[in-house]
Amino acid sequence: MNKKIFSKNSNLSTYTTIKVGGVAEYFAEPRNTDEFSFLIKWANLNKHKCQIIGAGSNLLINNIFIKGLVICTKKMKTLVIEPYSGIVEAEAGVMLPTLSNSLAKKRLKGGEWAVGIPGTLGGAIYMNAGTGSLSLAKNLISVKVINNKTNEQLEIEKKDIDFEYRFSSFQSNDFAIISAKLHFEPNGNLEQLIQTTKNNLKLKTETQPYHLPSFGSVFKNPENNYAAKLIDDMGLKGFKIGGAEISTMHSNFIINNSSASSKDIYELITVIQQKILQNKGIYLQPEVRMIGFDYPK
Ligand SMILES: Cc1cc2nc3c(=O)[nH]c(=O)nc-3n(C[C@H](O)[C@H](O)[C@H](O)COP(=O)(O)OP(=O)(O)OC[C@H]3O[C@@H](n4cnc5c(N)ncnc54)[C@H](O)[C@@H]3O)c2cc1C
């Protein structure tokens, strides 16, 4: 194993898609399960808090010193696809666009929707990321994890995982996702799958501010309503605090339009919540996860 497995005082802003973040006391990017497991054990032995991130595409990290170890899984990207059975084994750091495009090329059906989500497989399972009624939960067979408290590795079957709208039970337990086994429908029409995947990406880039730093939808949609519509109705489109701005393209996106600080973004989230609560009586729950804030995780 490489001796220098982590670095100290690492700037996390380049590890989030909104391009803000604090400084991690210890930071590591394991390349395989052994390194991942070793790092978690090391953090436990030394009583360091250990936080896992993927592509940082749903994360607001406060611009402070983050004590303990932050592990980014992006280098764990082994992807094995069996085209005849449709069985897929993928490590946590495999990016959804890579998964989606690879499935289409191998004529496997069912992953075309995921091409426009710039996160890792681990992050997508943790968040139950999706679009409309589609998410990876449908294709999941099992998930391999490390219990962050006991360092034990286990494989959890789908039936033992709760999935709801942008929620999985991984948000309420303390497991690090190593990899997952999935199943997709084999023998699809190659041209059709590639075309659908391309179209899905085109649709996303045409309707969301893909070209600018953001973390996707800021808030979950309340029941029978849309966060974007509520924000629009308040006339908040384009509203700014410092360098943080409510996108004029999609009101449930906050973009970092210049040099936004994490404080600007956090304040903008709070202002939106207060205005909607005051005027509509609805509490918008953030979809975005936060590190280094006193906000409930
Ligand atoms: C332009 C844009 C478009 C987006 N579109 C969509 C969309 O259509 N649908 C949608 O659902 N989301 C969307 N998102 C949000 C985001 O991409 C997803 O939530 C994604 O699944 C997050 O994955 P990640 O690897 O970036 O996770 P991160 O943001 O790095 O982490 C998110 C959470 O997952 C946890 N986590 C990550 N990896 C692991 C692991 N291996 N083990 C345990 N916990 C882990 C982290 O601790 C954190 O709490 C979009 C984001 C952007 C920037």
For residue 34, the domain's CATH number is 3.30.43.10
In a domain, 215, yes or no: yes
Q: Residues 119, 225: one domain?
A: no
- Give the nearest ligand 1 atom to 121 CA: 25
Q: Residues 84, 199: one domain?
A: yes
Q: How high is the mean pLDDT of the chain?
A: 96
CA 286 to ligand 1 centroid distance, Å? 13
Q: Residues 28, 44: one domain?
A: yes
| Contact between 183 and 87 (Cβ < 8 Å) | yes
Give the contacts of 201 (CB within 8 A, at least 6 positions apart).
97, 115, 116
- Quote the pLDDT of residue 295: 60
Q: Residues 179, 246: one domain?
A: no
Q: Domain containing 176 — which CATH number? A: 3.30.465.10
Q: Residues 124, 221: one domain?
A: no
- Please give the radius of gyration of the chain, using alpha carbons only, rounded to the nearest integer: 19
Where a domain ends, among 161, 179, 206? Answer: 206
Q: Active-site residue 287, yes or no?
A: yes
Verify whether ligand 1 is closer than 6 Å to residue 58 (CB atom): yes
Q: Residues 218, 199: one domain?
A: no
In a domain, 119, yes or no: yes
Q: Residues 189, 222: one domain?
A: no
- Quote the pLDDT of residue 3: 62
Angle at 41 between CA 37 and CA 42, to 5 degrees: 115
Q: Residues 89, 197: one domain?
A: yes
Where a domain ends, among 72, 87, 114? Answer: 72
Q: Residues 85, 182: one domain?
A: yes
Catalytic residue among 166, 214, 247, 251: 166
Residue 49, pLDDT > 70, answer yes
Q: Tell me the residue range of the domain where 29 lies.
A: 6-72
In a domain, 45, yes or no: yes
Name which of 277, 272, 281 is nearest 246 in CA terms.
Answer: 272
pLDDT above 90 covers a percentage of the chain that reads: 95
- Quote the pLDDT of residue 217: 97
CA 127 to ligand 1 centroid distance, Å? 6
Q: Residues 177, 248: one domain?
A: no
Residue nearest to atom 9 of ligand 1 (CA): 130
Number of structural domains the chain divides into? 3
Q: Residues 215, 271: one domain?
A: yes
CA 117 to ligand 1 centroid distance, Å? 8
CA 114 to ligand 1 centroid distance, Å? 12
pLDDT tens digits, one per residue of 78-123 = 999 999 999 999 999 999 999 999 999 999 999 999 999 999 999 9
In a domain, 287, yes or no: yes
- Quote the pLDDT of residue 4: 77
In a domain, 276, yes or no: yes
Q: Residues 87, 135: one domain?
A: yes
pLDDT tens digits, one per residue of 12-44 = 999 999 999 999 999 999 999 999 999 999 999
Where a domain ends, among 185, 206, 227? Answer: 206
pTM of the predicted protein model: 0.97
Give the contacts of 196 (CB within 8 A, at least 6 positions apart).
104, 112
In a domain, 162, yes or no: yes
- Quote the pLDDT of residue 224: 94
CA distance 107 to 87: 12
DSSP structure class, residue 219 = B
Q: How many CB atoms lie within 10 A of CB 172?
A: 9
Q: Domain containing 223 — which CATH number? A: 3.90.78.10
Name which of 61, 127, 66, 105 is nearest 263 in CA terms.
Answer: 61
In a domain, 284, yes or no: yes
| Contact between 254 and 214 (Cβ < 8 Å) | yes
Confidence class for position 76, pLDDT limits 50, 70, 90: very high
DSSP structure class, residue 139 = G
In a domain, 296, yes or no: no
Residue nearest to atom 52 of ligand 1 (CA): 216
- Quote the pLDDT of residue 5: 84
pLDDT tens digits, one per residue of 137-185 = 999 999 999 999 999 999 999 999 999 999 999 999 999 999 999 999 9
